[in-house]
Structure 1
Amino acid sequence: MKYSYYFAIISFLLISCESKIPIEIKQNESKEMVQIIPSSVKDSVLIAIPTEFEIKINSSVKYITWHYVGDGKTLWNDAFDYQIYEASPLYQLDVYEIFTQKKTRIIKKERKHLIALKEALSLLKKYNAQSLDNLKFGEIIKLSSYDKFKKENKVLVDDFRKINDSIKFRVMKGDGSFFYLRKKIDW
């Protein structure tokens, strides 16, 4: 009988320790490809860096939206500055996706970092990638998976770390109230 009380108390404590926030965000090491994209700036190109997030949904949620904050500015144009993917481009997670899974993985592919043409040529040579000469608007050059790229290009990645980038999540809970969460991006 004495052990039943202990078991009941421990069970109650474990249940009460369950997270009360509607979602938890964890950044994972991405294996998606880093890409070079042509830019309208004459002596620079864009480098697209993928970051991966795992979203754990803890309670009743109607939908989840997000905005990317790059260098202290909210980037509203999620078609040009960045894109969020699950299996295809995604603008929000709504009740249909949330009911089928309580954990999901999204990938943010950012396209706002400019690098000098000279630096881009060095990266292309390093990864035996195609030349920039014939690269047309809308085309991409794949370099390496980000987990590998991060280890091999520490100086470049350290420059990204100096910028205060984050992703802001807005969650509409089942009761109609909102929950906001900001996750700093760990380059």
Structure 2
Amino acid sequence: MKKIILLISTILFALCFTNCKEKKYFEEIVSEKNVSITKLRFPRDTEKEDLVINIPVEFNLYLNNFPNIWFVNIYYDKNNHGCVIVQDFLINESQTDKTIFTLDEFQYPNYPKSIYLVEQKIKISKEEAKKWIEKYNPKTAVENIKSIDDTITLVSYKKFREDNPKFIEELRRIPDSIKFVIKNRKEKKTIQIKEKINW
């Protein structure tokens, strides 16, 4: 009897593992894309010189494993608030760095293999900006950032994350999340997958 129970448990575990593996649509990875500093794109007070740090949050996509997908959309929540694409964040294709306004512009089997999200409202002080610029890009200066078109590149996010654990911990203090809304042609249902961003 014990052998039968063990066999059934093993089979159920294998089925569950296979199904979970098959249903994996995306996963967050530690990006090698560069962190950068620029001005806040849509400031409330135009007199302020708000600086922001752009951190790429990258995801491998497995959408091309599912031929019946016909619609995909992405939603991003920051500090428990929904964000607006372009105004609050951008989505770029990893291979080309081209901005994507919706994944719905792609169709199977041509979905990108990976994308990265860049939030545009992580404000930092001038002192923080100076510290990071001096460390990672000393040939320039924070004073060179005069408009949103002026961007100072620092270092890969992987390296930045290793060097600045306290800053990363602060990003994680209030969990942020990404949600994929996927429509399946065959099953005629909407799948919603929400996962916490690990930063």
TM-score (norm 2): 0.77
Cα RMSD for the two superposed structures: 2.5
SS in 1 for 2:194: strand
Question: By how many angstroms is 1:96 displaced?
Answer: 4.4
Q: What percent of counterpart residues are identical? A: 27
In 2, distance between residues paired with 1:151 and 1:21? 32
Q: Is the 8 A contact 2:57 2:116 kept in 1?
A: yes
Q: Is residue 2:132 matched to residue 1:132?
A: no
Question: By how many angstroms is 1:15 displaced?
Answer: 10
One-letter identity of the residue aligned with 1:117: K
Match of 1:99 among 109, 120, 124: 109
Q: Is the 8 A contact 1:37 1:140 kept in 2?
A: yes
In 1, distance between residues paired with 2:57 and 2:17? 33
In 2, distance between residues paired with 1:55 and 1:21? 13
One-letter identity of the residue aligned with 2:29: N
SS in 1 for 2:76: strand
SS in 2 for 1:67: strand
Question: By how many angstroms is 1:34 displaced?
Answer: 0.4
Alignment of 1:41-60 (within 5 A): 42=48, 44-57=50-63, 58-59=65-66, 60=68
Question: By how many angstroms is 1:43 displaced?
Answer: 6.0
Q: How many residues align?
A: 174
SS in 2 for 1:18: helix
Tell me: CA distance 1:48–1:16, structure 2 relative to 1, closer, same or farther (3 Å): closer
Q: Is the 8 A contact 1:22 1:179 kept in 2?
A: no
The aligned counterpart of 1:82 is 89
The aligned counterpart of 1:7 is none
In 2, distance between residues paired with 1:160 and 1:180? 24
Match of 1:180 among 161, 171, 192: 192
In 2, distance between residues paired with 1:53 and 1:29? 8
Instruction: Judging by fraction of residues, say which structure has more strand.
Output: 1
Between 1:13-22 and 1:135-144, the stretch displaced more is 13-22
The aligned counterpart of 1:159 is 170
One-letter identity of the residue aligned with 2:92: Y
